[in-house]
Amino acid sequence: MHDSCTFPLARGLSVRVFPRLLAALVVATSLSGCVNLPPLENRSVSTAITDTARTTLGRAVAPLVALHPAKSGIYTLRDARIAFDARVVLTQSAQRTLDVQYYIWRNDMTGGLLFEGLRDAADRGVRVRLLLDDNNTSGLDPVLAALDAHPNIEVRLFNPFAIRSWRWLGYLTDFSRLNRRMHSKSFTADNQVTIIGGRNIGDAYFGATNDVLFADLDVMAIGPVVAGVSAEFDRYWASDSSYPVQGLLTPVTDVQSANLRLAAMAMENSPPAKAYIRAVKESSFERELLQGALPFEWAETQIVSDNPDKGLGKATPEGQFTDKLKRAIGEPKDEVDLVSPYFVPTASGVDSLAGMVRRGVKINVLTNAFEATDVAVVHAGYAKRRKALLSAGITLYELKRLAQIPAARRSGSSLGDSTSGSSLHAKTFAVDRERVFIGSFNFDPRSARLNTELGFVIESPALAQQIDDAFKNRVPLNAYEAKLAEDGRVYWLEHKEGALIRHDIEPGTTLWQRFGMYLMSLLPIEWLL
C-alpha cells in the first residue's frame, strides 16, 4: 500500500449505501461518547541514554568518528537484505538502549524476526522504546501488548484509534486527528548508530517476498547526527500524540503470551526464514561494521524533521518539514535529480519547479509508472500535472514494472537497477551534484501538510554524483521517458533490447484504467494524496 496515504472515505455514495452510512454515523456518534483516549498525565518519562561510549557499538565507531570531527559517517543501504541485516546487527549488538520509530511494521517473516530481536535485546537488559504509527497496526494488538508486558520494553502508538475493532468508525468521529500520521522512520542503537530513510519494516521492503518488492533506500549513520536523531525520537516519544499501549490494548494472558512466543519460534525455524537468514548472513556487513571497516562517506549532515505537533495540526509554519528542508538544501543553481515514488506536485509545485527551470536549473524526476505504482489514485494525482511539467521543460522518467527476479539475486537497488524490485519506494534527491536528501518525505501534499517526516541533508558530492550517474545511465534503461509531442499529447519512449520504442498510449494501462484515472483526477482530493 501507499505508505503515506489514507483514503478512508474516498468512495462514491449510492442511494443504497446512504442508509448504511447513516446507521454507521449513528453508531459512531454513540460510541464516541463512551470510547475516549486515555489521559497522558501518568505516562512514564524517559530520554535517550547518552553514556554509551563504552558499549560494543560505541567502541567500534569511536576511532572513525575521532578522525572526522564535525562530520557524520554515512553508509547507504541500497541492498534490501543488507538493510535488514543492518537492523538485525544493531538489535543484537545493542547493550543499553534501542529507540525504534516506524510508520509500518508488518507481522510477517522479517517483521516477526525483528519483533523477536527486540524481545531478545530486552532479555539482555537493553531498554527498548518502540513508537509505531497506529494507522497500520491492525491485527498487531496482541503482539504489541505482549512486547509491552516485558519490563524492559515500552510500546507507544502515535495518533491511536480509540475504537480498536472497527477502526474506520474513528475516521467518522475524529477524522482531523486520524488523518495525520507519523511517517517518520528511525532505528537507533545505543545512541551510537542510527538508520533512517524510506523503508518500513516488512518482507516487501527487505527482499523477502515473491509479491511486490519495493526498491528503497536507507542510510546508516554514525557521528554527531545520531544525537540529533535521538533528540527527535525523544520529542516524538513525549508528544501529545504518543500514547502508551497499556491504556489502549487488552493485556495478554500468560497463555496468549506463550502461544505468541511459540508461533514466533515456529516462524523463525521455518525453512523460508532459515533460507532468508542464511542469504542475509552471506554478506560481510556485520564483521565490517563491528571492526570499523565499513566504507563510510564522511560529510556534514543535517537532520530535518517535522515538529511532532504536526500530528495534531498545531505545528507552526516555520516548524514544517518543507520550510526546514528549503533552508537546509538551499536554492538550486544548476541541477536537481529527484526520486519520488508518489510524486504529486500540485499546481503550486509545478509553478515552483517551472520557475527553477526558467532560472536555468535542469530538473530530472523519477517516479513510478502506472504499471509499477501500488496506489492508482496517487498516480492520477501525478498524471493530471504531467503535461504541465513537460511543458515547463522538466524531464520525467516513470519506472517500469520490472520482471520478478530470482530471490537469490534481489538487491532492491533504489534507482532502477536491472536487479531492482518492481515498485519504486525510495525518496531522495540531489542538488547541484553537491548535496543529497535521503529520508521519508514523499513529494506530495500529504507529506507536506499532514504527515510527519524525517530525513538527512548530506553535503556529499560523491553521493550526489551517484544519483546523477544513475539518471544518466541506469534510469533510462529501466524507465519510460514521458515526452510532449508537437500537438500537445504525451507519449512515452522505452529502451527495449537495444531499440527505442514509442508508446502513444500510457504503457501498462487499459482503456478502463485510463478512464478511471481521469475520473479520479477530477475528485477534489489532491490535498489527501
Q: Nearest CA to 341 among 197, 441, 471? A: 441
Which ranges of 269-418 would DSSP assign to H, the alpha helix? Answer: 271-280, 285-290, 321-329, 346-358, 376-391
Active site residue 432: yes
- Please report, for residues 121, 125, 182, 221, 240, the alpha-carbon distance to residue 129 in angstroms, rounded to integers and kept in the order given: 11, 13, 16, 19, 16
φ and ψ of 526, to 5 deg? -60, -35
186-189, strands of its sheet edge to edge = 242-244, 153-158, 127-133, 97-102, 186-189, 193-197, 218-222, 72-77, 297-299
Query: Does 427 qualify as catalytic in the annotation?
Result: yes
Asked if 304 contacts 432 with a C-beta cutoff of 8 angstroms, the reply is no
Which of 103, 253, 115, 122 has the alpha carbon at shortest distance from 183? Answer: 103
Residue 190 bears catalytic tag: yes
Q: What are phi and psi of 365, to 5 degrees?
A: -125, 135
425 belongs to the catalytic site: yes
Per-residue cell: 322: 518543507
Q: Is 500 helix (H, G, I), strand (E, B) or coil?
A: strand
Q: Which of 99, 216, 432, 444 is catalytic?
A: 432
183 in catalytic set: yes
Write the secondary structure of 407-437 as one string of H (helix), E (strand) and C (coil). HHHCCCCCCCCCCCCCEECCCEEEECCCEEE
Q: How far apart are CA 476 and CA 399, in angstroms?
A: 9
Distance CA 467, CA 96 (A): 36
Please give, one letter per residue, the 3-state secondary structure of 14-59: CCCHHHHHHHHHHHHHHHHCCCCCCCCCCCCCCCCCCCCCCCHHHH
* CA–CA distance, 180 with 175 (Å, rounded to integer): 9
Identify which of 162, 159, 157 has the alpha carbon closest to the alpha carbon of residue 140.
157
- Rounded CA-CA distance 339/319 in Å is 24
> 127-133 and 153-158 as β-strands: parallel, antiparallel, unpaired?
parallel
- Residue 432 has phi, psi (to 5 degrees) of 55, 25
Give the side-chain half-sphere CA count within 13 A for 349: 20
Which candidate in 85, 99, 190, 306 is catalytic?
Answer: 190
Count Cα neighbours of 358 within 13 Å in the Cβ-side half-sphere: 9
Q: Which of 185, 310, 384, 400 is catalytic?
A: 185
Catalytic residue of the set 2, 71, 183, 400: 183
- Residue 344: which of 391, 378, 388 has the closest Cα? 378
Catalytic residues: 183, 185, 190, 425, 427, 432
